[in-house]
Amino acid sequence: MKFKFYLESIAGIDILPMISLLFFFAFFIAMTVYVVTMKKELVDEISNLPLNDSDVNKFVSK
């Protein structure tokens, strides 16, 4: 694999996987905190979105 040689020659390349892992975990933790702290009313509204017929009738052409 020729690209492995090129990657090894780049200075500081070993830090990039750690940075991407930290970004992933920061995003995962932020989304978990957001979901846990959501208001119950918002969760109910979002969970019923696919079932609401009143919103669908706006887009159905007659």
Structural domain contains residue 12: yes
- Determine how many CB atoms are found less than 10 A away from the CB of residue 62: 3
Per the structure, how many domains does the chain have?
A: 1
Structural domain contains residue 21: yes
Q: What is the pLDDT of residues 30-53, one digit of tens each?
A: 999 999 999 999 888 888 877 666
Half-sphere exposure of 60 (CA within 13 A, CB side): 6
> Which helix (H) or strand (E) segment is 26 a member of?
helix 16-36
Structural domain contains residue 52: yes
Structural domain contains residue 15: yes
**17: exposed, middle or buried (Cβ count in 10 Å: 0-12, 13-18, 19+):** exposed
Structural domain contains residue 48: yes
Structural domain contains residue 62: no
Domain of residue 18, residue span: 2-57
Q: What is the pLDDT of residues 10-34, one digit of tens each?
A: 777 778 888 999 999 999 999 999 9
Which pLDDT does position 53 carry in this prediction?
A: 65
Single pTM value for the model: 0.56
